[in-house]
Amino acid sequence: MTSSVDQFFTNFFHCAPHIFTAPGRINLMGEHVDYNEGVVMPAAVNYSFTFAMAAGQSDKCNVFAHDLQEGLSFSIYDLNPGETWVNYLMGVLDGFMRRGVAVRGVDVVFGGNIPSGAGMSSSAALCCGFATGLNDLFRAGLSKVELARIAQYAEHEFAGVNCGLMDQYASLLGEKDAFLLLDCRGVTHEVIPFATAEVELLLIDSKVKHNLAATAYNQRRARCEESVAALQQKFPQVRSLRDVEPTMLAAVGDALGPETWRRCRYVVGEMQRVQKAAQALRANDLTTVGGLMYQTHEGLRTDYEVSCAELDFLVALAAADRNHVPGARLMGGGFGGCTINLVKHSYREAFIEKVRHNYFAQFKKEPDFYSVKLEAGARLIA
């Protein structure tokens, strides 16, 4: 992809660009925890966007999406959110300008291999790659954490997704062959190596497409925030669900109502599972990590209610082979997308064949499979 994006840029704009890359991400544990100031376990992966970029001399941006064969031009002073991918780039530009960075227009060609809607956060990678390029071209000197916040701002204000910081942080600060144990309150992380000869990470795309800007995702975040106000009546030290113990949650069940209480039970339980999984991963105890993944899926299915029949079917197929598939769960915001599976290398092909056959028989859809490796975050590559 790098060579085709680079070549197209050179042929179209008649100059040599700088080349940047930004990876998608997976999340081993901690779904829907980042916006509750919890601790999560993401990693950058070997699916990415490549950006060929050069600074312009005016306020005009010329952008071409190589994969879509779509291009458009706009002024940095006319950033109007619409319904297309350009929203994300406009949001990033707006974030730089709001920080007082003296940007100009840019010429950009981008493309990549991150599957849309599969839960690898293609939108975060799009924002983070563009932000990395702007930071370099205009010598803004912003830290990677600041770039992550700009990318998050773009998703909030220009794409309408009230997401946490995990996706952007992982895309920018990911490390090769490692997960990040990311504290979303302190915005710091610990590197946890993941280099095992025993299992690989396999994503299975249900081919059910979700739209995280839809009301379901934002409603769940709102329920979590509303619950904090009720908890503070009895426990004033609570700032977010990060501060809540199961006993505290039990004490305010009537005030929360059954649905909100179940949402909170999942989040509080998941925060505990993340810490247990991190401890097990440090000890290379993949059986324990996998068991926690299955528990997480059950919580996402019954308490947080963000699963669907297709995802549940895929996890059930994995659970039937737990000796060979130690862990599986839905990954991402839910309502479709991928499951993430820990699969023993020796069983990979047999598992893929089993899933393909049974999934098609049940849903008349062909799932896609992605073997992922953990890579470094967004950076200048040429």
State the catalytic residues.
Answer: 167
DSSP 211: -
**What would you report as the CA-atom Rg of the chain, rounded to the nearest whole angstrom?**
21
Strands 60-65 and 106-112: parallel
Q: How far apart are the C-alpha atoms of 195 and 179, rounded to whole Å?
A: 10
DSSP labels, 245-287: -HHHHHHTHHHH-HHHHHHHHHHHHHHHHHHHHHHHHHTT-HH
Q: How far apart are the C-alpha atoms of 175 and 192, rounded to whole Å?
A: 9
* Bridge partners, 329 (sequence order): 340
Residue type, position 68, single letter:
L
372 phi, psi to nearest 5 deg: -115, 145
Residue type, position 259, single letter:
E
Residue with tokens 């060979």: 324
Extended beta strands in 137-289, E state? 178-183, 188-193, 199-205
Strands 178-183 and 18-27: unpaired
Q: How far apart are the C-alpha atoms of 123 and 92, rounded to whole Å?
A: 12
Q: How far apart are the C-alpha atoms of 312 and 171, rounded to whole Å?
A: 27
Residue type, position 105, single letter:
G
Tokens of 47: 């699916």
Q: Alpha-carbon torsion 302, 304, 305, 307, what sign?
A: negative
Q: How far apart are the C-alpha atoms of 264 and 271, rounded to whole Å?
A: 11
> How many H-runs (helices) and E-runs (strands) does the chain carry?
12, 13
SS3 (DSSP) at 154: helix
Tokens of 2: 């790098």
